[in-house]
Amino acid sequence: MPAEFRDITVFIIDPRVLIRQMLSRVMREETDVSSLIALENKQNDETLIEIENHNPDLILLGIESIQSKEFWLLKSIINMYPGIPVVLLTTLTPQGARAALTGLKLGAVEYLTVPDTSQGVVFAGRHFRKRLTPLIKALPNLNMRANLGNQIVISQTSSVATQKKLKQKEDIELVVIGGCLGGVQTLYDVISRMSEISVPVMILQHMPKIYTRELAADLDEITPLNVREAEENSILLPGQVYVAPGGYHTVLKSNWRRNMINIHRGPREIKYRPSIDVLLRSAVNVYQNRVMGVFLSGGGKDGVDGAKEVLEAGGEILVQSKKSARLWDLPGSIQSLHVSINQYHSHQLGEEIISRLKDRMSTATHSKMVN
């Protein structure tokens, strides 16, 4: 592992001794972390003093519920040490999902699911290794000031010659929003600003199934739009928002002039299920050049190939701005695909989506009147 990943101090704060032991073992074996401190957190004040004394580069914080003292510790850490990234350790339960989503909205950078039984911890080593190594590698690229800047759009103007290379665009009939690390925080911002929309919206976030169900219910509370977790044979309706369920691939299909959702347990793609690439590939197959892809904060490559297919078909791509994204690896890779792709602050994405859909409809109506 490169030297820049070794010189870091990590705090593991969790009331469960087995969780602390397992995470400590995995961190030492897989990441070469220079300093590792595991705490039980008997008193929040004492833990805060330890954080002040050691100034860790990363905190792994176990939170069983939003009523726990660790949840109040999270609030204190984010308020007192906003530059220290916090990753939540939450159980794969509705209670754990609510704790994770609430913590992410407060400013935690990510969550890591942990077993809620002692027996499960024994077999969790592989899961921890798979999740922890990418998190450690992402640390140098994390933007801990994300979403604190002004609402400024950073756009690029494509040349006429380049524009002519793209196929003729038609009215957008589907919006697909994808993201990974940091994407959940932006989702709340984007969806809260979309009070009305004339097409179906698909959301794919890399989360386990229980968490996607809670995410859909939580998003439904902040918008007049109807947000729900996608189900097998759900009909895609204008103005409806569908969250792809965790653990399954979500694909779109056309059936008797109706566009529908298919859920299946196919093989993982680039280690992911659900996969943004899989969803976008099927979206282009059904909607051709009438797809708008929107990419939020995240790392990895899932979504890059799907974005290429959207562009080649003649659809549109928007990405979250580097200034507002917690991790710009994925949006940055997407934007590099074509000079026509603009980046927007998280505060602007929702309104930009609506604006583009209205502009398309107005242009189409005007063209019909003229002709």
User: pLDDT tens, 90-109?
Assistant: 999 999 999 999 999 999 99
Mean pLDDT for the stretch of residues 329-358:
93
Q: Domain for residue 155, yes or no? A: no
Q: Is the domain of 7 the same as that of 109?
A: yes
Say whether pLDDT at 168 is over 80: no
- Domain residues for the domain of 279 are 160-370
Q: Is the domain of 106 the same as that of 236?
A: no
**Between vectors from CA 175 to CA 214 and to CA 113, what angle results, nearest 5°?**
30
The pTM for the full model equals: 0.87
Say whether pLDDT at 1 is over 70: no
Q: Domain for residue 197, yes or no? A: yes
Q: Domain for residue 149, yes or no? A: no
- pLDDT for res 132: 87
Q: Domain for residue 280, yes or no? A: yes
- pLDDT for res 131: 85
Q: Is the domain of 173 the same as that of 135?
A: no
> Domain ends where: 141, 172, 191?
141
Give me the CATH number covering residue 40. Answer: 3.40.50.2300
Q: Domain for residue 189, yes or no? A: yes
Q: Is the domain of 220 the same as that of 104?
A: no
Say whether pLDDT at 151 is over 50: no
User: pLDDT tens, 226-281?
Assistant: 999 999 999 999 999 999 999 999 999 998 789 999 999 999 998 899 999 999 99
Q: Is the domain of 7 the same as that of 135?
A: yes
Mean pLDDT for the stretch of residues 119-147:
81
- pLDDT-based confidence at 224, cuts 50/70/90? very high
Q: Is the domain of 109 the same as that of 212?
A: no
Q: How far apart are CA 213 and CA 110, in angstroms?
A: 18
- pLDDT for res 97: 96
**Between vectors from CA 113 to CA 63 and to CA 12, what angle results, nearest 5°?**
55
- pLDDT for res 161: 31
Q: How far apart are CA 215 and CA 70, in angstroms?
A: 22
Say whether pLDDT at 199 is over 60: yes
Q: Is the domain of 177 the same as that of 133?
A: no
- pLDDT-based confidence at 189, cuts 50/70/90? very high
Q: Is the domain of 128 the same as that of 9?
A: yes
Share of the chain above pLDDT 90, in %: 67
Say whether pLDDT at 371 is over 50: no
Q: Domain for residue 153, yes or no? A: no
Say whether pLDDT at 110 is over 80: yes
> Domain ends where: 110, 141, 172?
141
- Distances in Å between the Cα of 355 and the Cα atoms of 88, 175, 196, 348 are 36, 13, 11, 10
- pLDDT for res 18: 87
Q: How far apart are CA 320 and CA 245, in angstroms?
A: 23
- pLDDT for res 55: 93
Say whether pLDDT at 155 is over 60: no
- pLDDT-based confidence at 359, cuts 50/70/90? low
Q: Domain for residue 179, yes or no? A: yes
Among 2-11, 105-114, 260-269, 319-328, which is the least confidently predicted range? 2-11
- pLDDT for res 118: 60
> In this predicted model, which residue has the larger pLDDT, 351 or 115?
351
Give me the CATH number covering residue 320. Answer: 3.40.50.180
Q: Domain for residue 146, yes or no? A: no
Q: How far apart are CA 270 and CA 332, in angstroms?
A: 18
Q: Is the domain of 272 the same as that of 314?
A: yes
Among 25-29, 48-52, 68-72, 153-157, which is the least confidently predicted range? 153-157
How many domains are contained in the chain? 2
Total count of residues recorded for the chain: 371
User: pLDDT tens, 226-239?
Assistant: 999 999 999 999 99
Q: Is the domain of 106 the same as that of 53?
A: yes
Q: Is the domain of 266 the same as that of 349?
A: yes
Q: Is the domain of 177 the same as that of 303?
A: yes
Mean pLDDT for the stretch of residues 193-209:
93
> Domain ends where: 141, 175, 190?
141
Average pLDDT, the chain: 86
Closest Cα partner for 27 from 143, 135, 141, 138?
A: 135
